[in-house]
A and B are shown apart, each in its own frame.
Chain A
Amino acid sequence: MSEADMHDLAAAYAVDAVDPDERAAFEAHLADCDRCRREVEELQDLALVLSDGLEVEPPAQLRASVLDLVATEARGPETAGAARDAAGGEAAATGSPADGDATATAEPHEDGAADVTSLDARRRHRAPTRGPGRWLAAAAAAVVLAGGVWGVSQALNPDPATQVIRADDASEHTADTEDGPVAVIVSAAEGRAVVQLPAEFASPRAGSVYQAWFVSADGTARSAGVLQPEMLEERTALLEGSPDDAVAVGFTVEPTGGSDQPTTEPFVVVPLA
């Protein structure tokens, strides 16, 4: 991008109307260009009027939640940093954290934004606290990477199925059935997979259930769980276990309660490659 083009971006940048590449390029340019820095400041000040009059009282519990997070962070950044780093390393190595909602999977952006050094260092010591707090901690970890971080929201939603669907590395695989396409969404980073069923998916007959299977290259099947009625209702289900080396996800009809191994031919197989 030429110098003139850079100057041209000041207004768009001031209102965040730039894509991540442009943002990064312009911020690099800002470091050396007083004129653009002044213009951005001027325009951001002017834009302030656009949020004046939009005030909405946030829910009361949000205040407590923010202050709790701050208190936690202020209290002791050192406590469980080692554990967290270990968890992150494991997730990176295997792509399959034992616990599907492990927050460590939200971290790949860190390295890409290592230029916020001091904050980065603080993040590395964040404790992976159990319970809702750790979601918030993960959110906090993500927020400081202000520039062009698009994977942030995945750290915020405690629903693991949504986590998978929103993962940056999520890939979608489909196979057709009579009722429409069945999709399997896999995130290696999350170490989990989600199935999405077509709108008119027929329910299993009484006394039987649909069961999902991770199928390996050698043809062996591991149960990925029984699709419970509410999953059929919602048409989205988080599969049990990690897809690991699975090359396909198969679905069979099994007696109520499910089976250890498939007892019928799969009615649909979704290849993952």
Chain B
Amino acid sequence: MGSATGAGSLTSDASHDDPGQARVVDVSPSGRPELIELIRAVAEGDQSALAQVYDQLAPRVFGLALRIVRDRALAEEVTQDVFLQIWRQASEVDPGRGSPVGWVMTLTHRRSVDRVRSEQAQSDRLHRYESENKTPPYDVTAEEAVERIEAGRVQQALDRIGEPHRTTLALAYFSGFTHREVAERMDIPLGTAKTRIRDGLRKLRTQLDGGEQG
């Protein structure tokens, strides 16, 4: 399945002047120019470079992980996993694709989602007796899921894309639901869920481009 390809989608030949490529990385707090140099050094086995990458990106990695897994200990595990993965796979980052922050956050998102799903599967066994008659912790309504992710810039970003994309994207991105589960929870056809995820993401570009329609 090529997990390296999937998670590290930077290793492609995507054209840089493709207007479809939003250069989000350049405006992120982690978009300092030296990051790519650091990653290159990490690829060569430079541990102090990894420490610097950690210092630049750990709060963002930990913050996203925490938002998704909603548990500090799990978020720490995800963060640790992500930096180990950076250590091992730094050489796979394509320097031609700009800052590696996108790669790192993609790794972070995937690890977090995998973790929250496996936790959910296990929580059934773990909490069988306590929650027999209660709503399982992850079986949240769309609204609850969205409330959990209200926070600053993210909230603004989501708010601006408007419904129904806001809820769809929040469920998919922050709650770790598959498109199938999103469709079920929102009571919409599968195809609609997929379309809304895509359109919701594209609407995010509106903000990046200063309001112009993407």
Report B131 CB to chain A, min CB distance, Å.
11
- Main SS of chain A's interface residues? helix
User: Which secondary structure dominates chain B's binding surface?
Assistant: helix
Cα separation A161 to B18 with both chains bound (whole Å): 52
Question: Which residues from 12 to 51 on chain A have a C-beta closer than 8 Å to any C-beta of chain B?
Answer: 12-19, 22-24, 26-28, 30-31, 34, 37-38, 40-51
A63 with B20: CB separation less than 8 A: no
**Nearest CB of A to B81, in Å:** 4
A152 touches B47 (CB 8 A): no
B138 at the interface (CB under 8 A from A): no
Q: Do A57 and B207 touch (CB < 8 A)? A: no
B: which residues have CB within 8 A of A? 1-7, 9-10, 12-14, 18, 20-25, 28-29, 45, 47, 50-51, 54-55, 58-64, 66-67, 72, 74-77, 79-85, 87-89, 97, 101-102, 105-111, 113-115, 117-119, 121-122, 125-126, 128-130, 151-154, 157-158, 169, 172-174, 176-180, 182, 191, 193-195, 197-198, 201-202, 204-205, 207-208
Q: Which 9 A-B pairs rank lowest in CB-CB distance, beginning with the nearest? A: A53-B153, A11-B198, A147-B3, A143-B81, A54-B63, A58-B62, A12-B179, A17-B172, A55-B59
**27 interchain pairs (CB within 8 A)?**
A11-B201, A15-B109, A22-B178, A30-B2, A30-B6, A37-B12, A42-B21, A46-B201, A48-B24, A48-B25, A48-B102, A51-B64, A52-B24, A52-B28, A52-B153, A53-B152, A53-B154, A57-B62, A58-B58, A66-B50, A69-B80, A70-B83, A143-B111, A145-B3, A147-B2, A153-B115, A165-B122
